Structure 1
């Protein structure tokens, strides 16, 4: 299958299936000399691994990463970096029944329509475990960005109809839902308990704030920064919506209220008085914080009775059992952050050849 590679210069290719021997990623284009250890990557993987709370699948996996290539004596060599996480707790027999029918909300039918064959063990390449490779690569991208003074803060903005009304960055990692508002997190947990009692699932919204990106990153036509962010985020299986800045609210605004006024700061730099654009103008960063949101659908695997069809063309009713997340949002927070980091880093590397001055300054003696 095609379509498992992302990026132009900092390029990643993910591989593996949910119930195969392992999941991994090959990263090409990482600069040499970056200090890198397994621990740097594991911190990110621990944020998405299963079995950490009542609100994630009970599948027990350490998701321990191994570096197979591209790192020597604690630093990247400039050659392709290959990372692998071995699967140790597959229960493929839990999925044997679904080989004969199509689960609502899953890629079962579309895989059969495209290939005439599918790996029904946990969804194969369409499984959430595919994101392990993205997160492992994203950890490296985020480390490079941090050296450039760029940080990413990603969190759950809402679950169901429950939205955060305050923001405390320290609170994000103090609750299993990664919400920066303790009161909202408590209400969201109560809502999820109700969903669980009804054999149902929930969706939500993830927000990402990227701080420190200089103005001029991205391109004005087909490589727009916001367009590439949208593609990156919408490539995550459970994401069904993307908006940047004021997003869909711009349809309700007027030009006089939607435009961000510019002004000169005390240190003679250009700044904006507001940030309705979400940090991107004309496909290029404008120097303010980049703010976007991703809408994540409810987990489609629910124990409630659902209608579908089988491969024999018969209408049937099913109840899906097995190990599934009652909500995808909390574990998807780090996936969104990783895809954003990959997109920003790739755009910055791409931007290095935008000016003759940049090339001359790099190569001059």
Structure 2
């Protein structure tokens, strides 16, 4: 009812506010017998956390995860796993000037119209800080899927504002603050972001994420399609305004002779379908692209209204990401993992002891945005 729970069998309930004492989640449906510790989860949170470079919000949150339940002597018990992340660097006074007004492009106005009140401190429930518990839950799903089925997840930024990024290799992603699979354009991105921060403005981004080692057979027609659930999950990430599966909108310009992925005894020749046919995984890599809008909290004055409907001008102070897309790659990877995990459990529930088929040999086009 409240929209805070994601998934059917692997269910994640997200709780907390940006400036409350803590945020976290409860994972219900994790199979028993998974070796699980804080060390399995913390690295993913460290990839997403704020304050990691001068190009993101300087809020200093360590994002140290605590496992409160569902694990005994390092093994998941099958009971709900509660993960807690304490907030330690809130500065609620930074939001004093927007108590009675609404930031254009932000959820302030919509929350107020729906609930009759809102938590203005960092956006409350609408804050991107609430993606941290989903990254933590995604780390649990990633570990189970990797160990049991050999499924892996990775992603990168493919555009920052008007700058398109050439794909130069996955090995570059961990070595720059943008999650770019690129080494030659990083200085350009650094200068671009430095100028953007000086201007007090923000910009959007395009991301690419994929799941590798996928088995065929996950997903169901008509309304529980794998790609439909992927789109639903990605649109649940703050600031996402567009989702593409496979060729996505580029398929509009393709002909059927080009778009249809030819099958050969060695696998598919291409992956325009993005690893999903008829809502069911084909055994190819899942390929997903996201469009993320510019951050709504900016220093530049914007026209707005107050709660009385009178004209107002809004300037946002405090610590904000000039581009929320910079830290969003681990979030998108986590949400993709949660979808795949849920569908694996649904497949097992429907098909009983039938094992997931071995994936076919990947097609010639794989592993590159």
Alignment of 1:234 onto 2:235: yes
Query: Do 1:171 and 1:180's aligned partners in 2 also have CA atoms closer than 8 Å?
Result: yes
Alignment of 1:138 onto 2:138: yes
Alignment of 1:318 onto 2:314: yes
Alignment of 1:33 onto 2:38: no
Alignment of 1:355 onto 2:356: no
Post-superposition CA distance 1:97-135 (Å, at most 9, x none): 211001111111101110101111111100011111101
Please state how far the C-alpha of 1:357 moved relative to its aligned partner. 5.4
User: Secondary structure at 1:353's aligned position in 2?
Assistant: helix
Q: What's 2:189 paired with?
A: 188
Post-superposition CA distance 1:294-327 (Å, at most 9, x none): 1111111111111111112111112111111111
Give the stretch that moved more between structures: 137-146 or 178-187.
Answer: 178-187
Post-superposition CA distance 1:241-261 (Å, at most 9, x none): 000111001111111111111
Query: Do 2:161 and 2:203's aligned partners in 1 also have CA atoms closer than 8 Å?
Result: yes
Which one of the candidate residues 276, 300, 304 is aligned to 2:300? 304
Alignment of 1:100 onto 2:100: yes
User: Secondary structure at 1:20's aligned position in 2?
Assistant: coil
Q: What's 2:199 paired with?
A: 198
Aligned equivalents of 1:178, 1:310: Cα separation in 2: 38
Post-superposition CA distance 1:306-349 (Å, at most 9, x none): 11111121111121111111111121111101000000010011
Mapping for residues 78-97 of structure 1, pairs under 5 Å: 78-97=78-97
Query: Do 1:163 and 1:184's aligned partners in 2 also have CA atoms closer than 8 Å?
Result: no
Q: What's 2:125 paired with?
A: 125
Query: Do 1:192 and 1:202's aligned partners in 2 also have CA atoms closer than 8 Å?
Result: no
TM-score normalised to the size of structure 1?
0.95
Moved over 3 A (4+): 353-357
Alignment of 1:216 onto 2:217: yes
Give the stretch that moved more between structures: 36-45 or 349-358.
Answer: 349-358
Please state how far the C-alpha of 1:354 moved relative to its aligned partner. 3.5
Q: What's 2:288 paired with?
A: 292
Q: How many residues align?
A: 354
Aligned equivalents of 2:169, 2:246: Cα separation in 1: 20
User: Secondary structure at 2:184's aligned position in 1?
Assistant: helix
Aligned equivalents of 2:210, 2:194: Cα separation in 1: 29
Query: Do 2:205 and 2:326's aligned partners in 1 also have CA atoms closer than 8 Å?
Result: no
Aligned equivalents of 1:355, 1:131: Cα separation in 2: 32
Mapping for residues 53-64 of structure 1, pairs under 5 Å: 53-64=53-64
Aligned equivalents of 1:324, 1:309: Cα separation in 2: 22
Q: What's 2:361 paired with?
A: none
Alignment of 1:275 onto 2:240: no
Aligned equivalents of 1:234, 1:189: Cα separation in 2: 28
Please state how far the C-alpha of 1:57 moved relative to its aligned partner. 0.7
Query: Do 2:304 and 2:313's aligned partners in 1 also have CA atoms closer than 8 Å?
Result: yes
Give the stretch that moved more between structures: 176-185 or 341-350.
Answer: 176-185
**RMSD across aligned positions (CA):** 1.2
Aligned equivalents of 2:230, 2:346: Cα separation in 1: 15
Q: What's 1:268 paired with?
A: none
CA 1:77–1:357: 2 relative to 1, 3 Å: closer
Aligned equivalents of 1:357, 1:52: Cα separation in 2: 45
Q: What's 1:156 paired with?
A: 157
Aligned equivalents of 1:353, 1:134: Cα separation in 2: 24
TM-score normalised to the size of structure 2?
0.94
